[in-house]
Amino acid sequence: MKELKRMITIIIILALVSIFFAFAEGQEASKEIVIGFANFFAGVNAYTALYTPTFDNLVKETEGVSAINLDARGDPAIQMDQVNDLIAKKVDVILLWPVDGVAIIPSIKKAYEAGIPVLVTNSPVDKSAYDFIVGFTGPDNITEGYLAGELMVEGLGGKGKVVELTGTPGYVTSIERHDGFVKAISKYPDIILLDSQPCNWDREKANKVMENFLVRYPDIDGVYCCDSGSAMGALAAIKEAGREGIIMTDATLFQDGYDAIQKKEIYGSVYQSPVVDATLAFETAVKVARGEKVPFFNYMHTPKVDIYNVHEFERPLF
């Protein structure tokens, strides 16, 4: 009889323990997730201007998720302070669109030491920080640059003099798109890269940079730009100078770039959706905050678009 009572007591205790842990797990699952979004520069171009509201809408539409959005406006020092602020607020995950993939590393390490996972979006950080982040979501920028380089080779027929308009100096996306492009054209010794200058993703600055290129180099056969916005600024300068027959490619297709490809003013670009980019970042951040394991690299599909297949793609929303 005593043995039976002891067994019943043990069973009751085990049942209570199971109920407790089930309740605790339920409480944890129902806990609101707070994403700290350290943004690069919300309004610097049409791409970021669509990415940011897409992310915001996903937060609003998802029960149990909130976000603290901070915009560095392209300033590495401001972003470092903002990430430190998110650490102090003890958010569940930091979604980081880095201004400078090297300068932000001390703040990433602080988050790691505080036990807050950092998920990088759109533009990678330096590889030396890989041990301190949980992963990356967005485009494979080296591949995008390489694809734009392939388009340039096709357009030039493997021979010509080329200039390049890059993004922001020190910005990893700019560096990787340059590296990918150079890797593609370096296979063709008759394609010469005359010059490479930053335009900071800005259409007006791209216009000025291209004006200077046209004065400095009388024989330009090809122009590679970091994105369609920059390409449109360069195209305006080319038209103003009355130069014809220049092959142009870029690494992210905007609405204007799409239209220019249809008119055969731009040879080709790479299709990259800010809606897909933001959605992938949001969904992965939520998984990370919930303790789920995710792949380190979460890349988007970014196909080539040129004058021959542009009709197969929808016109971008940005």
- Give the CATH number, domain containing residue 124: 3.40.50.2300
What's the pLDDT at 4? Answer: 47
Same domain, 98 and 211: no
In a domain, 22, yes or no: no
What pLDDT is recorded for position 118?
98
What strands, in cross-sheet order, belong to the sheet with 268-270? Answer: 191-198, 160-166, 222-225, 247-250, 268-270, 304-306
Instruction: Tell me what pLDDT residue 34 has.
Output: 98
181 lies in the same domain as 237: yes
Give the C-alpha separation, 151 to 147, whole Å.
Answer: 6
> 73 and 125, same structural domain?
yes
> 297 forms bridges with which residues in the sheet?
136
196 in the same domain as 109? no
Domain count, the chain: 2
Which residues face 66 on adjacent strands?
Answer: 34
> 10 Å Cβ neighbour count for 171?
23
The backbone torsions φ and ψ at residue 98, rounded to the nearest 5 degrees and listed phi first, read -75, 135
Pairing of strands 304-306, 268-270: antiparallel
Asked whether residue 245 falls in the same domain as residue 167, the answer is yes
Cβ neighbours of residue 47 closer than 8 Å, sequence gap 6 or more: 227, 229, 252, 254, 272, 274, 318
Residues 152 and 189 in one domain: yes
Which residues constitute the domain of residue 90?
33-139+274-300
- Confirm whether 278 is domain-assigned: yes
Residues 6 or more apart whose Cβ sits within 8 Å of residue 167: 173, 174, 177, 198, 199, 200, 201, 226, 227, 230
- 207-254 pLDDT, tens digit each: 999 999 999 999 999 999 999 999 999 999 999 999 999 999 999 999
Q: Which two tokens stand for residue 298?
A: 């979460």
Helix (H) or strand (E) segment spanning residue 216: helix 203-216
Give tens-digit pLDDT for 149-166: 999 999 999 999 999 999
| The pLDDT of residue 311 is above 60 | yes
| Segment 73-105, tens digit of pLDDT | 999 999 999 999 999 999 999 999 999 999 999
Sign of CA dihedral 304, 307, 312, 314: positive
15 found inside a domain: no
Supply the pLDDT for residue 219: 96
**pTM summary value:** 0.80
How confident is the model at residue 223, as a pLDDT? 98
**H or E segment at 33?**
strand 33-39
Quote the pLDDT of residue 61: 97
Residue 25 has pLDDT above 50, yes or no: no
Q: Three-state DSSP class for 58?
A: helix
1, 70, 135 from 86: Cα distances, Å: 60, 9, 18
71: in domain: yes
267 and 278 in a single domain? The answer is: no
Q: How confident is the model at residue 6 (pLDDT cuts 50, 70, 90)?
A: low
